[in-house]
Structure 1
Amino acid sequence: MKSEISKALSDFLFEYETPRQVLVRNRRVGVVCRLIQLGVLAYIIGWVFIYEKGYQSTDTAVSSIFTKMKGVGYTSVNGHERVWDVSDYVFPPQGDSSFVVMTNYILTEGQQMGRCPELEGKQCSSDTDCEEGRFKRQMTGICVNSTKTCEVLAWCPVEDDHSIPHPPLLMSAENYTLFIKNSVTFPIFGVTRTNLVEGVDAAYISKCLYHPQDAPLCPIFKLGDIVKLSGFNFETIAQMGGAIGIVVDWTCNFDADVKHCKPQYNFHGLYGNPAETDQARASVGYNFRYAKYYLENNVQKRTLMKVFGIRIEIIVQSLARKFDIIPTFTAIGSGVGIFGVATVVCDLVLLYLLPKREYYKNMKFKYTDTSVQDPDSEAGSIETELSNVRDLCMSVYQSVKN
């Protein structure tokens, strides 16, 4: 046992394995090897370097967004005319990257806290039908005989939002304009850019309007064009509301001049896809409520407005690249390593698939012993010649056998 352990330890410490190269003259194996190497080379050059640009390092931007809406709306409801400006139809008004433009509304004026009958349609025949918790509002437990509806404690008169105005009351919103000012900084490369790039000055902004082909760098957008480019119909989305995303794409190559780093604008419908034809789906559109409070004869009252609008989400997407020696060497090293796949595949074909696999095994693997003398010595030279003769005889024998 001790001798076996000693022998195993000796073999581990004093043996050295070295690859033995065998030149195999086989057309099929040679073609397979070259095809695999060609595929690996195409992958390294085409995918890693050209498509993925593996010779460059990357960075994403730190971004800020400033927005400003302009335009005036007009409505005439039941003979009551009103003009709507930015402070009336934009929520919130601070110029954030996410905001809502009102396109339709339901107005309930002169509400005050008190007791009043519930909306028609929720019928009752006695006070027992008006138990607390049956409906969303706070019940008083009284059935109002004149209306056959339950009495509630609420802001009265109760809002009636069953009928949404059609066509939308603020169809003029289609002509509103949106100004986007965007600044991005790539900290790794120390580059700062804005969407007001070279050539986009005050004179240009005063007369431009964004168009995908004619004016792709103009930062002023017509709301109707935004809706159209996102795939929606303006009247459809304006009636019940929806959401649209404006993507500002900064994809830059800083191996070229920085002035070529310019934004691209893309528009996407985020909610309320026009292809959704199922009218039974829940929570259609986008809306919210807000109230304006005031005092009248020392009684607090409010005007409640249910707002339907287009929610605009401005999203900055960025990726900058620049040549870097470290990822270049990494890509080359990994590519060279992949070349070893050809050798592995060809060895499998040689040793396990070809008819002469036993012959190739004998040619590929050779065992030596530490007792063999140095081949440079006279005895070693004789033994080397005998080994070569033995290998030749084995080759002839295998050829005759096969």
Structure 2
Amino acid sequence: MKSQITNAITDFFFEYETPRQVLVRNRRVGVVCRLIQLGVLAYIIGWVFIYEKGYQSTDTAVSSVFTKMKGVGYTEVNGVERVWDVADYVFPPQGDSSFVVMTNYIITEGQSMGKCPELKGKHNCSSDADCEGGSFKRTGHGQMTGVCVNTTKTCEVLAWCPVENDHNIPDPPLLMSAENYTLFIKNSVTFPLFGVARSNLVEGIDAAYISKCLHDPKDAPLCPIFRLGDIVKESGFNFETIAQVGGAIGIVVDWTCNFDVDVKHCKPKYNFHGLYGNPAETDKARASVGYNFRYAKHYFDDNVQKRTLLKVFGIRFDIIVQSLARKFDIIPTLTAIGSGVGIFGVATVVCDLMMLYLLPKREFYKNMKFKHTDTHQQDPDSEAGSIETDGSKVRDSHSLLFQIKEYKQFASTFLKADPSIHLFLVQK
């Protein structure tokens, strides 16, 4: 028992098993095998390493965005002249990455809390019975008092009076001068995995350059100052159309960097996308076209609280930072190579299926690929069973009998084989 355990441990540590290999000279199988291997090799080199950069690790950036608008607008409505600066036409004024620039508006001045008739079409009436006191209408301006105003044939409401009339949107837009406003974008990014921090004010972008540059996709692609008219044009909109009813535009700051080269080559690219608006005149048939909101400025006049209400139509700008940095890393490289080597096994599986199930001489190939052994049972009453032999002699006799039988099987099969097929048997 002890010797058997010792032999088993010795065999485990000091013996090496290798699979049996059969070399088949067959053009069809050989061509299919090489084509599959060539396809796998092209996939590994072309897709995994060149296109997907499988030899690099990746990281995304933590970013912050600061914006600043500059420009002055001028309007003349009903003989009233007015100049609009940044504090008037940018909402919110803090310089966030998402903001609205007013391009058109409807103003209702001198509103105070009181009772006045609704607009026509909001809640028409023929008698007081049509106006339920204390109730509200979703599209109305206030609470109904229960009185039908005969002069307008609309219900009286408790609201900010006079109520706003927004049926007629100014055309052309009142602030067409917004086309020449400029937007300054300051963006900083940090890639924590690689310990790299960058700003869109890259090398060569200094105060002197910023004071005179204007972004152009070809001539000045790194200039961080943008003209609103150019942004709208690059996003696919017509400025006058989108300025009348408003819309939304996305400014994408793309940081795609390869840190296997010098960090100074990591520079941003700017792209502009129309997110929502009225890019074609046919869109007027759609519901809720454009972008607008209301803004009120409150004040006191003779101790009476009043307000100026503006329905603002504007372009909403959303600055979106997208990033992807890459750098060589041995771990993803070895992973990509290992997975590619594993895929090479597909060629073996496909060729084995062809050889064993599709080719005319498949039975012959099966005999060469698979070796079958019979289970021999020893008679316990035989003379051999009563003779004690050491383990090495038993193994030697079994090995000799096995080799003789295998030789006979191989010789018998080889004589039946096609002479054009050469078989090489590699055995431990």
User: Which segments of 5 or more consecutive residues in structure 2 lack a partner in the other structure?
Assistant: 1-11, 378-391, 420-428
Larger Rg: 2
2:397 is the counterpart of 1:391: no
- 2:119 touches 2:165 (CA, 8 Å); kept in 1? yes
Counterpart-to-counterpart distance in 1, 2:323 and 2:213: 25
Q: Deviations over 1:130-150 (max 9, x none)?
A: 223456331111111122211
2:157 is the counterpart of 1:152: yes
Of 314, 320, 326, which residue of structure 2 is paired with 1:321? Answer: 326
Counterpart-to-counterpart distance in 2, 1:89 and 1:97: 16
| Backbone CA RMSD of aligned residues | 2.4
Matched ranges for 1:43-82 at <5 A: 43-82=43-82
- CA shift in 2, pair 1:379/1:281, >3 Å: closer
Secondary structure of the residue aligned to 1:390 is helix
Counterpart-to-counterpart distance in 2, 1:205 and 1:322: 31
- 1:90 touches 1:100 (CA, 8 Å); kept in 2? yes
What is the one-letter code of the residue matched to 1:153?
L
Counterpart-to-counterpart distance in 1, 2:394 and 2:37: 37
Using the size of structure 1 for normalisation, the TM-score is 0.91
How far the C-alpha of 1:375 sits from its partner, in A, is 12
2:238 is the counterpart of 1:238: no
Of 166, 172, 179, which residue of structure 1 is paired with 2:177? Answer: 172
Residue in 2 aligned with 1:300? Answer: 305
Counterpart-to-counterpart distance in 1, 2:154 and 2:261: 73
2:212 is the counterpart of 1:207: yes
Counterpart-to-counterpart distance in 2, 1:382 and 1:104: 101
How far the C-alpha of 1:278 sits from its partner, in A, is 4.2
Counterpart-to-counterpart distance in 2, 1:282 and 1:41: 54
Aligned length: 388
Counterpart-to-counterpart distance in 2, 1:311 and 1:58: 32
Greater Cα offset, 268-277 or 23-32 = 268-277
Q: Percent identity?
A: 80
- 2:249 touches 2:318 (CA, 8 Å); kept in 1? yes
How far the C-alpha of 1:382 sits from its partner, in A, is 6.5
How far the C-alpha of 1:257 sits from its partner, in A, is 0.4
- 2:283 touches 2:289 (CA, 8 Å); kept in 1? no
What is the one-letter code of the residue matched to 2:352?
D
- 2:101 touches 2:316 (CA, 8 Å); kept in 1? yes
Secondary structure of the residue aligned to 1:31 is helix
User: Which segments of 5 or more consecutive residues in structure 1 lack a partner in the other structure?
Assistant: 1-13
What is the one-letter code of the residue matched to 2:204?
G
How far the C-alpha of 1:370 sits from its partner, in A, is 7.7
What is the one-letter code of the residue matched to 1:206?
S
What is the one-letter code of the residue matched to 2:90?
V
How far the C-alpha of 1:123 sits from its partner, in A, is 3.0
2:261 is the counterpart of 1:256: yes
- 1:112 touches 1:301 (CA, 8 Å); kept in 2? yes
How far the C-alpha of 1:397 sits from its partner, in A, is 3.5
Secondary structure of the residue aligned to 1:211 is coil
Counterpart-to-counterpart distance in 2, 1:394 and 1:190: 67
Counterpart-to-counterpart distance in 2, 1:26 and 1:320: 48
Secondary structure of the residue aligned to 1:279 is helix
Counterpart-to-counterpart distance in 2, 1:312 and 1:261: 25
What is the one-letter code of the residue matched to 2:120?
E
Residue in 2 aligned with 1:5? Answer: none
- 1:226 touches 1:267 (CA, 8 Å); kept in 2? yes
- 2:75 touches 2:83 (CA, 8 Å); kept in 1? yes
Secondary structure of the residue aligned to 1:277 is helix
Greater Cα offset, 118-127 or 246-255 = 118-127
Greater Cα offset, 287-296 or 373-382 = 373-382
- CA shift in 2, pair 1:29/1:237, >3 Å: same
Residue in 2 aligned with 1:125? Answer: 126
Q: Deviations over 1:71-95 (max 9, x none)?
A: 0000001110000000000000000
What is the one-letter code of the residue matched to 2:318?
E
How far the C-alpha of 1:251 sits from its partner, in A, is 0.3
Q: Deviations over 1:162-201 (max 9, x none)?
A: 1100000000000000000000000111110000000111
Counterpart-to-counterpart distance in 2, 1:383 and 1:325: 48
Using the size of structure 2 for normalisation, the TM-score is 0.86
- CA shift in 2, pair 1:334/1:328, >3 Å: same
Secondary structure of the residue aligned to 2:415 is helix
- 1:374 touches 1:380 (CA, 8 Å); kept in 2? no
How far the C-alpha of 1:115 sits from its partner, in A, is 0.3
Q: Deviations over 1:332-372 (max 9, x none)?
A: 11111110010011111111111111111111000246869
Secondary structure of the residue aligned to 2:241 is helix
Q: Deviations over 1:187-243 (max 9, x none)?
A: 111110000000111111011000000000000000000000000000010000000
Q: Deviations over 1:249-293 (max 9, x none)?
A: 000000100000000000001112525834332221100001111
Counterpart-to-counterpart distance in 1, 2:325 and 2:400: 64
Counterpart-to-counterpart distance in 1, 2:401 and 2:300: 119
Counterpart-to-counterpart distance in 2, 1:241 and 1:29: 66
2:38 is the counterpart of 1:38: yes
- CA shift in 2, pair 1:168/1:185, >3 Å: same
What is the one-letter code of the residue matched to 1:130?
C
2:342 is the counterpart of 1:341: no
